[in-house]
Amino acid sequence: MNSDKNSLLGGPLGLMLLVGAGLVIFWGFWKMPLNGINEGRRALTALEMVRNGNWLIPTMNGHVYIDKPPMLYWLMVLSAKLFNSTAEWAFRLPSVLAALATCTLLYRSLKRYINRDTAVLTILILGTSFSFTEHAHQAEIEMLLTFFCVAANLFFLDYYISSSKKLLYVSYLCLGLAILTKGPVALLFFWPPLLVFGTLQRSRRVFSGLFFWPGWLLMLAVGGSWYIAIWFSSAGPLLRQVIEIDIVGKSLGGLSDSKPFYVYIVNLLGIFAPWTLLLFFRAKKSIKLFHKPVAVYFALQMIAPLIIMSLIASKHNKYILPLFPPLAVCLAIYLRDFYAWLTATYDEKGKKYFTLFSLSLLAAYFIFHAAIGPRIYRYSYSAFKPLLAKIHEVDNLGPIYCLCEKKFLQLAFYYDKPIPQLDPDEVKAMIAEKRPFLLLAESHSWEQLPKQGLEIITEIKPYRKKSRAVRLLSNIPVKNLK
């Protein structure tokens, strides 16, 4: 099935593209402080797991947090303990390794079942996708989910070609770990594409694998173990609320992030630019490239879940990160055909231009992650150090609270203590009772605060976003703070 005899990217060029893409994916994840609310949420939860030693029931900012299963948190804690560090890089390491492992598995399968050129070009395309490399550098769930979903599908492909039941067990184990990473949504990236593939290929082997009950038992045992444990724990009553918000609410709509059907399609064209321009180059002829079963397999891994995810009301690009690898494979099939045409038409010049373009693109991404990115996003974390310094200067005068918890999750990570949330009525009550306290409030919420009874200790701008500022306030007169 492998056609490496006609390789166009053999020798130094293919190696340079692989090494370059690997460096882009790996380099710079240690450069920046926590960037964004979600990364603050994951890192703070892992940090509290390190501190309290409770691996079953995660907490965030001092309260139970079971919105997501704990697989990522467990790996983050293992990384922190292994390297004896709770620095940002230790909590980001699982995502970086998941991205590199995803590329390694893809390269192995594509080299074996299609050809080495397609394997190399797939890694090149992923390495030059800003969204993919950005998620590789973040302590978030999606990259780990992507790895387990891709692994489950690739090991199922191994089973389909070799008929080895051992590989089928590995596939279902990976699917169970995917569920333990982000819940039942992982099934959308496995069941629908394989069901369509088995129908199109009229393959009894595919359906036999899909309805392999020992595999499903293994998947449920691994993926459902934590949910069962939580159900019978003190946090059991919270599960229903999580299901209503994360599954029912996001699927049926009514949330603020509901978007039109076509959003993902448009976004993917931009995320994988300039490679998506190939879709409009010799399109009719290129479609013939997908007549082989393996090519159809990867195309359906992208198309079937994309249709389903597009029907779900809540849409964020990170939700479809598991579609990035199979889409990269499809684009790589197009790209190899384009490269063959380019070298046949322009000979050495065509090869030279492709090489210069690819290496220049990789170099640009490397420079961005190594030097430019941390400076561009400096506004998102520049307030942390001076704000923390001021908090430590006055935190003996009373407990510290915040007006909106999610705006201060990153800060709580660096403060290494929970920063509980108060609502405006609770703030008024504490002022009336003359209980000393400190309060953090972002600029968008200043209008909710009472006009009397609070004094500004410090104000810093920007805070997280260029247009926003943060205030540290107290109900103790400023003159008494000196």
Return the number of other C-beta atoms located less than 10 Å from residue 462's C-beta: 17
* Sequence-distant (≥ 6) Cβ neighbours of residue 392 within 8 angstroms: none
Helix-then-strand count for the chain, H and E:
21, 6
By CB atoms closer than 10 A (0-12, 13-18, 19+), residue 463 is buried
Please state which CATH number belongs to domain 382-480.
3.40.190
- CB contact at 8 A, 454 and 439: yes
Report pLDDT digits (tens) over 395-410: 888 899 999 999 999 9
Residues of the chain with CATH 3.40.190: 382-480
Tokens 């190899």, residue located: 336
Q: What does each C-alpha distance from 42 to 138, 140, 261, 264, 437 come to in angstroms?
A: 10, 6, 29, 25, 27
**pLDDT per 10-residue tile (average), the chain, 482 residues:** 64 92 95 91 97 95 94 98 96 98 98 95 97 96 98 98 95 98 95 96 95 96 94 81 62 59 92 90 73 94 95 87 97 92 87 93 95 90 95 90 94 96 94 93 94 92 94 82 54
Q: Supply the pLDDT for residue 232.
A: 87
- Find how far residue 49's CA is from the centre of its chain: 20
Report pLDDT digits (tens) over 163-187: 999 999 999 999 999 999 999 999 9
- CB contact at 8 A, 67 and 37: no
Query: Which residues face 359 on adjacent strands?
Result: none
**Phi then psi dihedrals of residue 12, to 5 deg:** -60, -35
